[in-house]
Every structure is written in C-alpha cells, then in structure tokens.
Amino acid sequence: MHCCQYYHATGDGDPAFTVDVPQFTFGAGCLAECGAHAKTLGLRRVGLFTDARVARLPSIETVKRSLRDAGIDFAVYDEVRVEPTDESLQAAAKFAAEGKFEGFVSIGGGSVIDTCKAANLYSTYPADFLTYVNAPIGGGQPVPGPLKPHIACPTTSGTGSECTGISIFDLLSMKAKTGLMSRHMIPTLALVDPLVTKSLPRTVVAASGFDAMSHALESLTARSHATRSRSGIASQRPMNQGANMWSDMGAREALRLIGRHLVHAVNDPSDEEARANMMYAAMVAGMTFSNAGCHLPHGMSYAVSGLVREFRAPDYPPNEPIVPHGMSVMLNAPAVYRFTAPACADRHLEGAQCLGADVRGATPADAGEILAQHLIGMMQATDFPGGLEYVGYSERDVDALTDGAYPQQRVIKNAPRDVSKDDLRGIFRNAMRYW
C-alpha cells in the first residue's frame, strides 16, 4: 500500500490534518540565550523548574547566569519527581501559584518539563486536579486558554516533551498513568542545547534514545489520519490525529538519525556528534508524535512501569524501584511490530530501512520480523534488557499487565490494526524474552 492509498479517506474519515509546529532554537551553547529569550517574551520574574540531579549540573548555572544577565528575577523549584505523580504535580503547582511568576523556565528531562507544564496550567487556571486530566480517568475539560510563557530546556535526548502539549503522570489513587493534554501546554520556546548531554549517564542515553526512536516508529506506523472519524467541529482536530504526510517526514528523518547515532551515543560518551544528532532527532520525533500520536509500545508501557516490583535501573534515582519510561516502551516494541506489521507492511519495512536494516528483496510478509530483529540488534548493542523478564516480569504477570494496559484505549486505538484484550495478552507474552 503506497502513501496515497494509506491516506485515502473513506466513509466518515477525515481527509485533512492540522499541524502545530512548536518554536525551537537548536545548537551548541544556545542555553546561554535563555535570559535574552525570556526578556523578549516580556518576563521579569520566572519560576525555574528542575530536579535534584540537574540542580547540581553546570547547565543550570548557565541558565541562571543568563537570567541574571538579562535582569530577570527567578525562584528555583528543584523538587520535581522523576516519573511525576498527581501529588508531585500539585506541589509544583502550589509553588507556581505562590511565586507570582510571569512565566516559567524548565531545565531537565521529560519529568521536569511535564511538571512545569502542569504547574503552569494549574497556577494559571486553578481547578480541582482531575478537571483537565484526560477522560475517562479525569474530567477531560479543555484548557480554557493560553498559559504563561514557558521556555523548555531538555537535558536528555528522548522524551521530546519540549515540543509537545502533553504532561504524563501517575495517578496514585488508581495506580494508573494518565495525562494532561492541550495545544496550550506546548512550551512557548524549546531551547535545545546538545552540550547538556555531555553529563548524561549511559542508561539514560539508551532509555531516552529508545523512547525517541519509538516516538518516530509509532508515528510512522500509526493508523492513518484519514481513518479518524470526523466528529465535532471540523477545524478543532485533536493534537494526535494519526499518521499523515507531515508526521511521516519527521518520523523518517528522526529514524535515519537515530539508526546512525543511537548506539554510538550510548557506548561512547565522548562522541559529541552522535549525542548532538540524538538531541536533534529526539526533538523532531517529539514534534512528530505530538502530531501523529503513539500507539501500542506506549500504551503498554504504562503498565510495565506502573507494576514494577524490585527492578532498579542503573543511573536512575536508587531510592525506589523504577523501569524508566523509555525502557518500559522499548521492551514491548519488537513484539508489537511483529503483531502490527500485517496492517501496513511497507511502513514497517520503511522504518527498518530508515534505521539501517538491509531490506533488499524483503516481501511484505517479512516486514515485522525484519523490523523486530533490527530493534533487538540495537538493544543488544547497547546492553539493554532483553525483554520484560529482565525487569522482573514473568508469564504470571501477563493478565495484570494486560488489565493495566487495556484501558489506555486513546493510545491503543491509534495502532494500525484493531487490538483485542487477547491480542494484548499475546503481545505481552511475546515481549517476555527476546534472547
């Protein structure tokens, strides 16, 4: 099936798609421009969000110095939780409300940037916490209007959060991952400085890099936008619309860069070119999935991270068990693509080819296996866990993982084929051990 067929609308399908392109500055040293950008935005006092690890790094000093040089007053919030919860977001929102800020700067990984988005939202439009949380868990109310300016400075090459309107967290009372989502939450400006990745530990580069790769691959293989039902006001399309010609462009380029650079970025911290390319690729993949939407690897990941028992990932905060987001996504990926390939084999082959796989002579029937094997090869080359068993799960957990993942229908429905609960069970089973 070629591109035109994939995007041919039938029945109630939406033949059009909308793109919101986030504003960004990319390049070595651009973090030092933070104060000048904040001044251009008219800010005189900002809340500076970070976490305990980043608070000790030179990058945050660069940001503070640039704010001071621009005459901007700021207060630091460094209590962001890695993998935020509703409680941690509300604590951050309280800080944001009490600080009387005109805008925000966030510097850190996805958790920091996501926390800042939520703090900005609830301090600008105070409401019961569940009001804006995605339905059906939350009220699903739209964000009423623009938020305060937010400059997002990522320090990992992965989540792409600097370019998305999404904030993901654990709702503690339900033990469920859910999120907040609005175009208004897209940061006003992303400052993406590859110099910050110098200090990134190996497992963080791997997990966040595979997260970025999955954003791109899920976007490329997502359901076509033309199959999304046209309901509601035509001009008010959701942020995640399914694969489209624009998201394909971002996905292909991100996959090409990630295929060439991810393994080197993980294995050789001195390879600045590889790390810079990963930083750029992660940002592009962020814009891409913000537009097209993710599907099964992400939909399943929330159960994998949420049900963790003992596993502690190296290079992550040691005080509690954690399967980092990118790891919980990637462990599902090979099994997912073996399942989804029949729906759009050419897109699976193209993804594999962009990543560097040799697809000469491949037939559509080979697509899932070629892509899965290429992903497994990348996991092995970076000493990544080889399946869900490696992070503590077994066959006995398949039902609990399935029950945890199945409610993530918003994401699961973006897969290129329909997914039953039994299908999901089968994919989890096949993700237990790849080698």
Please report, as ranges, the residues that interact with Fe ion according to CB under 5 A.
211
Q: Under a CB-based contact definition with an 8 Å cutoff, are residues 20 and 183 in contact?
A: yes
- Give the CB-nearest residue to Fe ion: 211
Q: Are β-strands 176-181 and 166-171 bridged in parallel, bridged antiparallel, or unpaired?
A: antiparallel
State the minimum distance, in angstroms, from the CB of residue 211 to Fe ion: 4
Residues in Cβ contact with 98 at an 8 Å cutoff, skipping those fewer than 6 apart = none
Between residues 171 and 349, which has the closer beta carbon with respect to Fe ion?
171
At its nearest, how many Å lie between Fe ion and the CB of residue 105? Answer: 22
Question: Cβ closer to Fe ion: 114 or 211?
Answer: 211
Q: How far is the CB of 76 from Fe ion (least distance, A)?
A: 27
Which C-beta is closer to Fe ion: that of 38 or that of 412? 412
CA–CA separation, 380 and 388 (whole Å): 14
Contact 297, 336 (CB under 8 A): yes
CB of 208 to Fe ion, least distance (A): 9
* Contact yes or no for 167/122 (Cβ under 8 A): no
C-beta closer to Fe ion: residue 109 or 194: 109
**Could you tell me the smallest distance in angstroms from the CB atom of residue 167 to Fe ion?**
12
> CB atoms < 10 A from the CB of 270, how many?
7
Question: CA 171, 175, 177, 182 torsion: positive or negative?
Answer: negative
For Fe ion, which is the closer residue by CB, 168 or 266? 168
| CA dihedral (294, 297, 299, 303) positive or negative | negative
Residue closer to Fe ion by CB (options 60, 258) is 258
Q: CB of 298: closest distance to Fe ion in angstroms?
A: 6
Judged by beta carbon, residue 31 or residue 285, the one nearer Fe ion is 285
Residues 6 or more apart whose CB falls under 8 angstroms from that of 122 comprise 89, 90, 93, 96, 97, 129
Query: Which of residues 83 and 211 has its CB atom nearest to Fe ion in the complex?
Result: 211
What's the min distance (Å) between Cβ of 354 and Fe ion?
A: 18
Q: Which is nearer to Fe ion, 193 or 211 (CB)?
A: 211
C-beta of 285: minimal distance to Fe ion in Å? 9
Which neighbouring-strand residues pair with 189?
151
Question: What minimum distance in Å lies between the beta carbon of 110 and Fe ion?
Answer: 7
First to last CA, the chain: 32
| Cis status of the peptide bond prior to 154, with omega within 30 of 0 | no
